[in-house]
Structure formats: structure tokens, C-alpha cells
Amino acid sequence: MGSLGGVVADSQFHVLAVDDSVIDRKLIERLLKISSYQVTTVDSGNEALEFLGLQDEENKDSDLPSVCTANHNRREVEVDLIITDYRMPGMTGYDLLRKIKECSSLRDIPVVIMSSENIPSRINRCLEQGAEEFFLKPVQQADVNKLRPHLLKERLRNNKSKLIEECLGSRPIKKENFQ
Amino acid sequence: MEVGQLQERFVDYTKSLFCEGFLDDQFLQLQQLQDESNPDFVVEVVSLFFEDSEKLLNDLTKTLDQQFVDYKRVDAQVHQLKGSSSSIGAQRVKNACIGFRNFCEEQNIEGCLRCLHQVKQEYSLVKNKLQTLFRLEQQIVAAGGAIPMVE
């Protein structure tokens, strides 16, 4: 990891896991904790959106693009990655993915989809919608190991923009410096 | 019975469960997730599976007993059971569910009822086997021994 180690190891990565199966929730939680991630599990897309600070009462199960009222600052907990089951009653993992990507404050959070069904058209649809990975269930350690690069990339990106903001903030902007 | 004998029994029993197809590789994956910080992980997950499956099987029985069967509901429930059995490595239960879904699609009530019967049987068998396995583990631990890893 070299010089990157100091920058990205600020805090533990926090993963939000969404699955309606209590067994699968327990499994994914254990797999994630073994990888030293902080984990929150919820049992539905609605609960996930609530946790992410997206209040969407009217459009809960609709196909319409949701009005994104998520305020980044309102969310108390940082979520670094969302891993969700595809097939859930009510809101599917795909619907959840779409709602997250439609929301300006959430769209940069990497999303991973899990499914017990190996359907190429489904996999493509999810990847096209912006999912980073698609795991076939049962999910194994090897799959969870694939999450790290996505988490690191996002953390680096965030740190970089924070660093830039800090630099810009602490120095007065002189017009003559930008000829 | 002394520890060595118990451990041998345990290894033989575990091997037979794999040979007979009751359990598959996923069960080994589960065991690998267990350690000193989570010493009861396998028992916990399997207990959840028992609870969940019994609810599903009861529900399936009711759904298939209706005058107008809601096959979408049946399919969703079988899918759930297939998923959870696959997650713990209960191979024969999982396989029984696969056939079940085909009959659902065809809306074939006879086929569905036959499959439900089969799934219940397989579930009952694997539940029995796993409980025996856990009892053996408890006996080993009680006798002061360590639970052997089975490859």
C-alpha cells in the first residue's frame, strides 16, 4: 500500500448490506466483519433508503424516478459501499440501485448486487445502471475481497477533493496567479 | 466415550453427510467463518435456517391448499427456501426446490404437491443430521476435546 496507507486508513469502511433473508444477512455480515468492515444490515430497500437519509414516502414502490431529497449533511453515518440482494419483495435491488444513482448526494457510493440467479440480462442491466460488481450467491470470501478496490478508490477520490477544498480555502485567490 | 473415539465418530459422520449429498461445499465455507471470536456461528446460522424453513414450509402447505392457488406466491417462497438452503450448504433441499419451481411455472398442482412432500422430507432429514452433528460436537467439547477439521 506504501504511501497510500496513511491517507486511506482514516477510519474503518462502513458497508450497508441489504437483504430480506435473515440467513443471508447473517452470512454477509460475518464475511464483511472478517474483512474488518463496519457493517449495518437492513432487510429492505426502503429501510436502506431511510438509513441513507433519503425520505421518499410517496414513491416507495413506484417506478418513477424519486425526488432526491437526501441531504448529505443530514446523514449522520457515512456509508462507503452498499451491497444489496437483487430479488426482494417490494423494492428490488435494481430499483434501489436506480434510486441511489438518481440521487446527487448518494450516487458516488459504490453499489454491489447479489443474486442467487445467474441471468446474464439481469447482470448486464445492473452493471449498466452503475453497479460495480454482481455477485452470485452464496457469496464467498473471494467475492468480498473484490470490494476493497472500490472502497479504496472512492476514499482516495473523497480525500483528494477534500484536500483540494482545503488548499483552495486556506489560500486567498489572487487573480494575477491565474493568467 | 473418550475424546479420540468421539472425534473419529464426528469425522466419519461429517464425511458421510458430504458423500450422501446432504451437505455441499458451502457448509465448509460456513465452518471457515467460525473462530474463537464467533465460536457458535455455524449453529446460529443453521438455527436461523431451521426457523425460516419451518415457517416457509407451513406457509407453502397453506398456499397450496387453497382453492385458487397463488403460484406466484408459491414460487417466491420456494425461491426463498432454495436460497437459504443454498446459503448453508443443504444441497438436497436446494435441489428439491429446483424441480419445485418448474412445476410452479407450469401451474401443475400435482407436481407441486409432490415436490412439497419431497422438500419436507429432505428438510427433515438434513435437520436431523445436522442436529446429530451438533450433538457430537457438544460431546467432544464436553469431554475436553477440540473439534477436528474435516477436509
Element (H, E) at B64: helix B41-64
Q: Is residue B72 part of a domain?
A: yes
**Domain ranges, residue B31:** 3-142
pTM of the predicted protein model: 0.87
Residue range B21-35: average pLDDT? 95
pLDDT tens sequence across A51-110: 999 865 544 555 555 556 555 545 567 899 999 999 999 999 999 999 999 999 899 999
pLDDT band for position A1 (cuts 50, 70, 90): very low
**A144 touches A35 (CB < 8 A):** yes
Cβ of residue A26 closer than 8 Å to a chain B Cβ: yes
- CATH number for the domain including A174? 3.40.50.2300
- CATH number for the domain including B102? 1.20.120.160
B44 contacts on A by Cβ (under 8 Å): 26
Residue A10, pLDDT > 60, answer no
Residue A10 CA to residue A33 CA, distance in Å, equals 17
Peptide bond into A138 cis (omega under 30): yes
Asked if the Cβ–Cβ distance from A24 to B83 is below 8 Å, we say: yes
- Residue in B41, B52, B79 closest to A23 by CB: B52
**Domain ranges, residue A52:** 11-178
pLDDT tens sequence across A39-55: 999 999 999 999 999 86
What pLDDT is stored for residue A101 in this prediction? 96
Alpha-carbon dihedral sign for residues A65, A127, A148, A41:
positive
Q: Is residue B29 part of a domain?
A: yes
ipTM over 0.85: yes
A90 contacts on B by Cβ (under 8 Å): none
pLDDT tens sequence across A149-174: 999 998 888 888 888 888 888 666 56
Q: Is residue B94 part of a domain?
A: yes
What's the domain count of chain B? 1
